[in-house]
A and B are shown apart, each in its own frame.
Chain A
Amino acid sequence: GAVVSQHPSWVICKSGTSVKIECRSLDFQATTMFWYRQFPKQSLMLMATSNEGSKATYEQGVEKDKFLINHASLTLSTLTVTSAHPEDSSFYICSAVPINQPQHFGDGTRLSIL
C-alpha cells in the first residue's frame, strides 16, 4: 500500500515552454504532499509543501511564480515549471503523506530543458 505515482518519468522540452509534473497517491488520500529537487550526486532539496485546498508553502529561495503548485484533490498535486530554462533541468521528486505514516516518494521526473 501507500503507492505514489509520478508522471511523466522523463521529459525533454525546449527552453521557454512550461512543463507540468503530476504526483498522485494511488491508494490513499494525502492532504499534504511535498516537492523536492535533486541535482546529480546531491541530496533532496525541499521546494515546497503542497496542501490540499490551500496555497502551497514555498521554501526560501524558491520562486513561487516559477514553480506553480496546485493540490486540487486529495490524491493529486501538480508542479508546473513555467517558462523553463536549461538551469531548471533537474530531477524532481514528490512525496505524499498517508495518515500516521512517513512520507512515501514517487519515482521522480527527470526534466531536461534544451
Chain B
Amino acid sequence: AQSVTQPDIHITVSEGASLELRCNYSYGATPYLFWYVQSPGQGLQLLLKYFSGDTLVQGIKGFEAEFKRSQSSFNLRKPSVHWSDAAEYFCAVGAQRNQGGKLIFGQGTELSVKP
C-alpha cells in the first residue's frame, strides 16, 4: 500500500538549533517527493521537491532534504531554525512529475521553536 509516515507528531527545538524532520514512504513506483509547510489557518506552501537527479535538494527558507532510496526516506533539514519556522510540516509523495496526479500526505509534524 502507498503511504507516507512522519514518525514525529510534535518537535520542539531552540531557535538557532538545527532541525531534522523525518519522512518515510512506501510507494510502488518511482516516487516524486515533496515537503510542504502550513501555518495555522492557512493553506500549504511548497518548500521543496525531488523528482530525480541530485538526491540532496535545496528549497526555500533555507530548507533542504535528502532522498535516500535504500531507506525510503526523504528527511527535511535546516541548519539553524528561526522562530518564524514554527508551523506544521507535511511530507507528500506523488506519482507524476507534472503533478496531474494525486498526492499522499503524511500525518504532519508540528514544529515549535523556543527562544
Interface residues of A (CB under 8 A from B): 4, 6, 31-32, 34, 41-44, 46, 49, 91, 93, 95, 97, 99-108, 110
- In the bound assembly, the distance between CA atoms of A55 and B106 in angstroms comes to 28
- In the bound assembly, the distance between CA atoms of A99 and B96 in angstroms comes to 12
User: CB distance A104 to B41 under 8 Å?
Assistant: no
Most buried by A among B97, B102, B106: B102
Instruction: Enumerate chain A residues within 8 angstroms of B71, measured Cβ to Cβ.
Output: none
- In the bound assembly, the distance between CA atoms of A32 and B108 in angstroms comes to 24
- In the bound assembly, the distance between CA atoms of A30 and B39 in angstroms comes to 25
Interface residues of B (CB under 8 A from A): 34, 36, 41-46, 49, 90, 94, 97-100, 102-103, 105-108, 110
User: CB distance A110 to B41 under 8 Å?
Assistant: yes
- In the bound assembly, the distance between CA atoms of A4 and B49 in angstroms comes to 19
Nearest A residue to B34 via CB reads A102
Instruction: Enumerate chain A residues within 8 angstroms of B44, measured Cβ to Cβ.
Output: 44, 93, 95, 105
Instruction: Enumerate chain B residues within 8 angstroms of A103, measured Cβ to Cβ.
Output: 46, 99, 103
Nearest A residue to B106 via CB reads A43
Nearest B residue to A38 via CB reads B38
